[in-house]
C-alpha cells in the first residue's frame, strides 16, 4: 500500500505484537526488569496491569523470549485466553508441559500428573513459569486452582516449582479483592501498572517503529501532527498504531511525503475510540 511510497521495508504500525518493535521506554522496560527480577526470587505470583492497548501482550512476549534463552533454568507456559474452568485450564497447562493423557482423565488424576511433572522439573533445577494474558477474565475458581498448584513446592520443600505472571486490565485488581483469592493476593511479590506514553515517549515510539521498519528519511511527522496524535491517542500504543497507520494511508493517497495535523485529524475522524480519547484530552488540557 504505502510501503514503497515512504521507503519502508514493512508496515511499521501493525497491531500484531512483534518483539522486534519493543521500545525500552521507562515504564515498559521497568516492568520487564521487575518481572525478570521477581522470577529469580521464590515468590509465586506477580502481576502487570494496564488499560487496553498499553502493551501488556507485547511485554508478555518479550518475557517469553527472554526466558526461552534460558531453557536449562526455565520452562515456560503461555495461556492467552484464560476464560476456562479449573479443569479446562489444567488441561491446557498439562499440554503446555508436554504431558500425554487421555481426554477422559479425571481432574484428580490430571492434577496428580501435573504435580509429578512440576516436582521432576524442579528436582532438575528448572522452574516452570506460567504467563497468563487477559487474566482479568479468569473465573475466580480457576485462579484459585492455579494458586493451589503453586503450593506444591512449599509442601515438598524443594524450592519454587511454579511461578505465575498475570497480565490484565485494571479489573484484575478488583478480581483479586474477592475473598476466595485472599491467599493469592497475599503471595503477590510484584504488582506493576503500565502507564500510557507521554508526548516525548510518543515521538520516540513513532521514530523507533519507523526505523525498525526501514525508514531512514527525515522527520516524517510534523510537530503539529505529533501534538494531535498525542491528544488523539492519549498515549495508548494500540490506538497510536491505528492512527499512525491511517494517517500514512491518507498521506499516501494524497501523494504527500510528510504527515501533518490534517492527516492525523482525518485519521481521528475515522477512528471512533480516538475521537472519544481526543474529547477527553481536550477537557483535560483545557482544565
Is residue 115 one of the residues assigned to a domain?
yes
- Displacement of CA 172 from its chain's centroid (Å): 14
The answer to whether the Cα torsion of 165, 168, 171, 175 is positive or negative is negative
Q: What CATH number has the domain bearing residue 208?
A: 1.10.8.60
Asked if residues 90 and 107 have their Cβ atoms less than 8 Å apart, the reply is yes
Asked if residues 34 and 190 have their Cβ atoms less than 8 Å apart, the reply is yes
Helix (H, G, I), strand (E, B), or coil: what is residue 147? helix
CA 212, CA 209: separation in Å to the nearest integer? 5
Report the candidate in 176, 180, 104 with the shortest Cα–Cα distance to residue 145.
180
Is residue 19 one of the residues assigned to a domain?
no
Both 172 and 214 in one domain: the answer is no
Q: Which residues pair with 128 in a beta bridge?
A: 75, 162
Both 50 and 128 in one domain: the answer is yes
- Displacement of CA 132 from its chain's centroid (Å): 10
Is residue 11 one of the residues assigned to a domain?
no
Both 203 and 121 in one domain: the answer is no
What nine digits make up the cell of 86?
479449573
Report the candidate in 73, 68, 71 with the shortest Cα–Cα distance to residue 126.
73
Is residue 10 one of the residues assigned to a domain?
no
Cα–Cα distances in Å, from 173 out to 73, 97, 190?
A: 30, 28, 13
Both 51 and 174 in one domain: the answer is yes
Q: Give the pLDDT confidence score for residue 273 in this predicted structure.
A: 62
pTM value > 0.75 = yes
pLDDT in tens, the chain (287 residues): 889 999 999 999 988 888 888 887 788 889 999 999 999 887 789 999 999 889 899 899 999 999 988 888 899 999 998 899 999 999 999 999 999 999 899 999 999 999 999 989 988 888 899 999 999 999 999 999 999 999 886 444 445 689 999 999 999 999 999 999 999 999 999 999 998 999 999 999 999 999 999 999 889 999 999 999 999 999 999 999 999 999 999 999 999 999 999 999 999 998 876 666 655 445 444 44
Both 185 and 76 in one domain: the answer is yes
Is residue 7 one of the residues assigned to a domain?
no
Q: Give the pLDDT confidence score for residue 18 in this predicted structure.
A: 83
Which of 193, 228, 252 delimits the end of a domain?
193
Is residue 20 one of the residues assigned to a domain?
no
Helix (H, G, I), strand (E, B), or coil: what is residue 95? helix
Both 138 and 208 in one domain: the answer is no
CA 177, CA 47: separation in Å to the nearest integer? 14
Which of 193, 209, 235 delimits the end of a domain?
193
Asked if residues 61 and 167 have their Cβ atoms less than 8 Å apart, the reply is no
**DSSP conformation class of 100:** -
Both 89 and 168 in one domain: the answer is yes
CA 89, CA 12: separation in Å to the nearest integer? 35
Domain housing 255: 197-286
Report the candidate in 18, 14, 2, 35 with the shortest Cα–Cα distance to residue 256.
2
Residues, the chain: 287
Both 157 and 59 in one domain: the answer is yes
- For the chain, the domain total comes to 2
Both 137 and 260 in one domain: the answer is no
Number of neighbours of residue 106 by Cβ within 10 angstroms: 10
Asked if residues 85 and 57 have their Cβ atoms less than 8 Å apart, the reply is no
Both 245 and 178 in one domain: the answer is no
Q: What CATH number has the domain bearing residue 161?
A: 3.40.50.300
Both 117 and 170 in one domain: the answer is yes
Is residue 8 one of the residues assigned to a domain?
no
Q: Give the pLDDT confidence score for residue 152 in this predicted structure.
A: 81
Amino acid at each position: 500500500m504505502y510501503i514503497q511510497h515512504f521507503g519502508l521495508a514493512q508496515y511499521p504500525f501493525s497491531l500484531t505484537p512483534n518483539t522486534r518493535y519493543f521500545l525500552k521506554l521507562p515504564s515498559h522496560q521497568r516492568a520487564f526488569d521487575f518481572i525478570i527480577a521477581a522470577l529469580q526470587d521464590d515468590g509465586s505470583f506477580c502481576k502487570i496491569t494496564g488499560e487496553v492497548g498499553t502493551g501488556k501482550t507485547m511485554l508478555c512476549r518479550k518475557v517469553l523470549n527472554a526466558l526461552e534463552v534460558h531453557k536449562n533454568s526455565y520452562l515456560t507456559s503461555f495461556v492467552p485466553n484464560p476464560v476456562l474452568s479449573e479443569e479446562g485450564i489444567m488441561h491446557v497447562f498439562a499440554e503446555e508441559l508436554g504431558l500425554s493423557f487421555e481426554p477422559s482423565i479425571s481432574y484428580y488424576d490430571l492434577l496428580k500428573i501435573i504435580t509429578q511433572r512440576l516436582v521432576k522439573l524442579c528436582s532438575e533445577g528448572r522452574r516452570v513459569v506460567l504467563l497468563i494474558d487477559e487474566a482479568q477474565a479468569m473465573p475466580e475458581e480457576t485462579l484459585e486452582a492455579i494458586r493451589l498448584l503453586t503450593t506444591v513446592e512449599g509442601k515438598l520443600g524443594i524450592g519454587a516449582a511454579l511461578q505465575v505472571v498475570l497480565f490484565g486490565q485494571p479489573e484484575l485488581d478488583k478480581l483479586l479483592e474477592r475473598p476466595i483469592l485472599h491467599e493469592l493476593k497475599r503471595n503477590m511479590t510484584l504488582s506493576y501498572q503500565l502507564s500510557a506514553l507521554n508526548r516525548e515517549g510518543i515521538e520516540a515510539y513513532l521514530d523507533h517503529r519507523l526505523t525498525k521498519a526501514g525508514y531512514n528519511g527525515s522527520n516524517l511527522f510534523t510537530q503539529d501532527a505529533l501534538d494531535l496524535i498525542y491528544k488523539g491517542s492519549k498515549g495508548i500504543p494500540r490506538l497510536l498504531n491505528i492512527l499512525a497507520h491511517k494517517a500514512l494511508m491518507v498521506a499516501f493517497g494524497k501523494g504527500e511525503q510528510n504527515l501533518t495535523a490534517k492527516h492525523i485529524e482525518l485519521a481521528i475522524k475515522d477512528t471512533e475510540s480516538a475521537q472519544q480519547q481526543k474529547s477527553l484530552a481536550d477537557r483535560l488540557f483545557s482544565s
